[in-house]
Structure 1
Amino acid sequence: MSTSLKDSAPQGARLPIRQGRSTKVRRQRVKAAWLFLAPMLIALTLVAGWPLFRTFFLSLTDASLSDLDAANIIGFENYLVYENGLWFGVLADHVWWQSVWNTVYFSIVSVSLEVIFGVIVALILNAEFKGRTIVRAAVLIPWAIPTIVSAQMWAWMLNDQFGIINHLLMMAGIIENPIAWTASATYSMWAVIMVDVWKTIPFVALLVLAALQMLPKDCYEAAEVDGIHPVRVFFKVTLPLITPALMVAVIFRLLDALRVFDVIYVLTSNSTSTMSMSVYARQQLVEFQDVGYGSAASTLLFLIIALATIAYLYVGRNKIQLGGD
């Protein structure tokens, strides 16, 4: 009895010591991590933090592009103000809310199509067939082309006078007269979405393909032996395993889509039917030379993107935790 007490006493005494050592090591690692991250955080603060603060400050003024030094602080009047029985400011502008809806609609539809077609392309590229290397290289070409160049290229092809798209559709008997794809309020948004999807499918496909290459072969061999249908294997095995890669692809594409500017501006300029939040802010800043008003729109754009990112990460993390449990 005494022997067991002697043997158990030192073990109980050593446990707090080990915990203390592990806590000390953890603190040292955290401190070292912060030291290594400090240069990057400082650079990020200077590169991104200062312009963001400057934009928010200008949104509180009546600054004009012609004379920034003569700006006066007017508070939140650029955002919303009530005067003479009417509401004024960005939040009271129906064009702003139209641009918000256009951006959200573009983001949801574009990213959804990119994920669907990206997964299909990745599954094709993951299969064994002759000339797979050449096909993989060719698929990356749309992504490698600069957005301005690809948008201008598609603007020429979609032109209602000399565009090859209308020419091919008329030859096939699908349409009788040329369609102004980028000038029509009915088709312009879909034309923009088509161009964006064409360009960014390779990005999603590349991330999904990398995830597919890392999947264990045992699961598929067991499913093949059991005679499980390939479609069921995809939804029950493949899709859950590549979900982390899909989440990365979606969050990156969602951030790009919410701040989209170049492809919309090149194809449709300042058209209200396709105007995004970035195009709206640029119009106020450059064309109307209202720096305060445009800065307020830019600040709201940043807040919307930040909230969307936080919400997506929160939902995605909860789904992963529930799936793990």
Structure 2
Amino acid sequence: MITRQRAATADVAGDTRDAAPLERQADSLHRERGTRVRRRRVRAAWLFLAPMLVVLAAVAGWPLVRTFWFSMTDASLASLEGAQFIGFENYLVFDNGWYGIMADPLWWQSVWNTLYFTVVSVALEAMLGVIVALVLNARFRGRTLVRAAVLIPWAIPTVVSAKIWAWMLNDQFGIINHVLLGLGLIDAPLSWTADASLSMWAVIIVDVWKATPFVALLVLAALQMLPSDCYEAAKVDGIHPVRVFFRVTLPLIMPALLVAIIFRALDALRVFDVIYVLTSNASSTMTMSIYARQQLVEFQDVGYGSAASTLLFLIIALITVVYLYLGRRQLGGGS
């Protein structure tokens, strides 16, 4: 009996040893088949993306290369064909002193104005957008009408809304000063767009008014896709709504909120129209885009203006890459 049991055990062990290589072979074939499928999908994706990449290279790549080339020349609007190559003199050169765009205090002032405008406006838009989205996500009578009304500022063209606010902020006949004087909050009319201490906040208010509905729309779409069982469980457990928001809602809507912040930050870094309509070329609100436009159009210095445009592109690209990297690490847990 013992001999037969040992023989049966040996047969089972032999079958197991024989089956192990077969399982490894099957796993290897499965992985190889999956690799082929992934490669086929990657090739198909590149095939579909190829027309878009060609158009993008023609529409965006060539103008960017041409702008960089002009930044290395002394080109002007009067003589583009006769431009001479001067290297990096438009950027920085030493000739009994430092000259070039990177030695221009007004350029660094415009960089600071752009970054300040971007950080403050996007932060306010993100916070207000989440609040508006939470309100619109609640159930109340007339919710559809309120949702449509909230989108009106975003639907109005930027130049039109900036001009409307320019009239409202006028120090002589603007309705903003009229209301503040009527409420007794101010003693004299304020020059919102002319006073250097108020002009930046004026353009920030206008931009927040216009762009907050965009953030709210993206966050609202994310809120409507959240699972309801989490909130039902939190309600049963008696968890405070504020804690539910920070522990459940905010982490779930964070991907959509990050997308909204990225788009708004890109728009804010290259802002031009709203600031130019409200304050024109004022140094207190001059951004990098307005600085480049002043050099290109008013001073007709294509080389210097192209250098400013190139630096603007590099700064935006660097900030975008860093933000995407940090956002990916946060969402992916550091992977």
Specify the TM-score bucket, using the shorter chain as the normaliser.
Answer: over 0.9
**Cα-to-partner distance string for 1:30-53 (whole Å, 9 max, x where unaligned):** 111111100000000000000000
Which residue number in structure 2 is paired with residue 26 of structure 1? 38
Which residue number in structure 2 is paired with residue 316 of structure 1? 327
Say yes or no: does 1:227 pair with 2:238: yes
Which residue number in structure 2 is paired with residue 16 of structure 1? 28
Helix, strand or coil at the partner of 2:94: strand
**Cα-to-partner distance string for 1:253-311 (whole Å, 9 max, x where unaligned):** 00000000000000000000000000000000000000000000000000000000000
Which segment is superposed worse, 21-30 or 201-210? 21-30
Aligned partner (choices 113, 117, 120) of residue 128 of structure 2: 117
Q: Distance in 2 between matches of 1:203 and 1:47?
A: 26
Instruction: Map 1:48-59 onto structure 2 (within 5 A).
Output: 48-59=60-71
How many residues in Structure 1 have an aligned counterpart in Structure 2? 323
Which residue number in structure 2 is paired with residue 151 of structure 1? 162
Which residue number in structure 2 is paired with residue 76 of structure 1? 88
Which residue number in structure 1 is paired with residue 10 of structure 2? none
Larger CA Rg, structure 1 vs 2? 2
Which residue number in structure 1 is paired with residue 301 of structure 2? 290
Percent identical residues: 70
Aligned partner (choices 74, 93, 102) of residue 62 of structure 1: 74
Which residue number in structure 1 is paired with residue 145 of structure 2? 134
- Letter of the 1:24 counterpart: R
Deviation of 1:21 after TM superposition, in Å, equals 1.8
Instruction: Map 1:2-13 onto structure 2 (within 5 A).
Output: 2-13=14-25
**Cα-to-partner distance string for 1:141-174 (whole Å, 9 max, x where unaligned):** 0000000000000000100111111111111111
Which residue number in structure 1 is paired with residue 275 of structure 2? 264
- Provide the TM-score with structure 2 as the length reference: 0.95
Which residue number in structure 1 is paired with residue 5 of structure 2? none
Which residue number in structure 1 is paired with residue 318 of structure 2? 307
Q: Distance in 2 between matches of 1:76 and 1:285?
A: 17
Segments of 5+ residues of structure 1 without an aligned counterpart are none
Deviation of 1:224 after TM superposition, in Å, equals 0.8
Q: Distance in 1 between matches of 2:246 and 2:20?
A: 52
Deviation of 1:18 after TM superposition, in Å, equals 2.1
Instruction: Map 1:86-101 onto structure 2 (within 5 A).
Output: 86-101=97-112
- Letter of the 2:34 counterpart: S
**Cα-to-partner distance string for 1:8-28 (whole Å, 9 max, x where unaligned):** 332222222222222112111
Which residue number in structure 2 is paired with residue 174 of structure 1? 185
- Letter of the 2:48 counterpart: F
Helix, strand or coil at the partner of 2:51: helix
Q: Distance in 1 between matches of 2:29 and 2:129?
A: 53
Q: Distance in 2 between matches of 1:9 and 1:303?
A: 55
Deviation of 1:4 after TM superposition, in Å, equals 2.7
- Letter of the 2:244 counterpart: V
- Letter of the 2:25 counterpart: A
- Letter of the 1:305 counterpart: I
Instruction: Map 1:202-281 onto structure 2 (within 5 A).
Output: 202-281=213-292
Give the CA RMSD over aligned residues: 1.1
Deviation of 1:29 after TM superposition, in Å, equals 1.1
Helix, strand or coil at the partner of 1:222: helix
